Amino acid sequence: METDTIIYKIPDNYFIEDFPEDLTINSKFGSYTMNVENGGETIKYVRMFRLNKGLYPKDSFDDLKTFYKDIISADKSKFVLKMKE
């Protein structure tokens, strides 16, 4: 399993307007989890990815593509910061 943890410090003159919701994707090919914690002055982003070993029939290739597309989409999630007035 691969785990990435990033803690973003929010500048004093900004606030977090929006951030992605937690997400879990489970498949016979593996799993992906994204957790986001809003700490007010920080954002903690944790991403976990596990790829299951195995041999799969060729007719499951479209399912594998969908699994990876969903992960790529989740990885492109954005945080929105806005300047305080």
Q: Give residue limits of the domains in the chain.
A: 2-80
Q: What pLDDT, on a 0 to 100 scale, did the predictor assign at position 26?
A: 97
b/e sequence 16-51, b meaning 16+ C-beta within 10 Å = beebeeebebebebbbbbbebeeeeeebebebebee
Q: What pLDDT, on a 0 to 100 scale, did the predictor assign at position 84?
A: 87
CB-CB neighbours of 4 under 10 Å: 11
Q: What pLDDT, on a 0 to 100 scale, did the predictor assign at position 40?
A: 79
Q: Give the rounded distance of the alpha carbon of 83 from its chain centre.
A: 25
Q: What pLDDT, on a 0 to 100 scale, did the predictor assign at position 66?
A: 96
Q: What pLDDT, on a 0 to 100 scale, did the predictor assign at position 79?
A: 87
φ, ψ dihedrals at 72, nearest 5°: -60, -40
Residue ranges, the chain, pLDDT below 50: none
Q: What pLDDT, on a 0 to 100 scale, did the predictor assign at position 9?
A: 94
Architecture of the domain made up of 2-80: Sandwich (2.60)
